[in-house]
Amino acid sequence: MIKPLLIKTSYVFIAILLCGHAISQNEINIEGSQVISNFKFVNSSGLIDKDYLSITGGAYGLSYQRTTKKNLLFKVGAGMRKAGSTLTISNDNYSWQLQYIDAKISIGYMLNKWRLKPYIMLTPYYSFLTKAYQTVNTQNYDMVKNKTIKNSDYGVNGSFGIKVTLSDLFSIYAEGSYLYGLQNNEVNTKQKLYNRAYFITLGATIKISKLSPKWLQEGK
């Protein structure tokens, strides 16, 4: 049910991006993040295991953003993120190291009254798993090769940030966000495993409408 919703949202998003009449500026964003990730694990009895612990990793991304004259934000982007968790059972130490490639679309609102511009965004995402390793003490297992985890993930990401205008062309921003995975990543079991993560992000923005051809600036 989530995948058709993401597809429909993408169509709406493309229509908005192609509608230049309400657009005031076009931007490219480059960002890097510190990620604190964990799993929500539900056992076969339906009980949540709270012994899983967070790990830290990194993420980076590139996106294209349009901002309307009413300060609505529309963004489409892609990036890479790390994910995983750790767990100790008796004397055995377990850890999971995952890597995803994300495709994301976002809608938000910016309070555009000062040089410091607070904003909020909601971002549905769809991810492709590129690496997944489980370590039990000193033994490593390739989860992708062994097909013990699903090779994709999807969910939503909510964020709050502050953008700082440096000039007519350049801005920087800081952002905090929370990723809420909606797909059960377990394979062929009655157990459930979901991705959860916090992001602390720093990014830079360049306003391409200042550099773009005339047809791209018709909405200004």
Residue 52 belongs to domain with CATH number: 2.40.160.20
pTM of the model: 0.83
Full residue range of the structural domain in which residue 26 is found: 2-217
Alpha helices in 19-177 (DSSP H): 143-146
What tokens appear for 48 in the block?
Answer: 């949540």
The whole-angstrom separation of Cα 35 and Cα 31 is 13
pLDDT given for residue 202 in this prediction: 98
What tokens appear for 179 in the block?
Answer: 């990723």
> H-helix or E-strand containing 27?
strand 23-42
Alpha helices in 114-155 (DSSP H): 143-146
144, HSE (Cβ side, Cα atoms, 13 Å): 12
* Total domains, the chain: 1
Q: Cα separations (Å) of 43 from 11, 14, 53, 180? A: 37, 40, 16, 19
pLDDT given for residue 209 in this prediction: 66
Q: Is 9's pLDDT higher than 80?
A: no
For 129-182, what is each residue's pLDDT tens digit?
A: 999 999 999 899 999 999 999 999 999 999 999 999 998 899 999 999 999 999
What is the arithmetic mean of pLDDT over 33-46?
Answer: 94
The whole-angstrom separation of Cα 73 and Cα 69 is 10
For 12-25, what is each residue's pLDDT tens digit?
A: 444 444 444 444 68
Q: Is 201's pLDDT higher than 60?
A: yes
pLDDT given for residue 49 in this prediction: 92
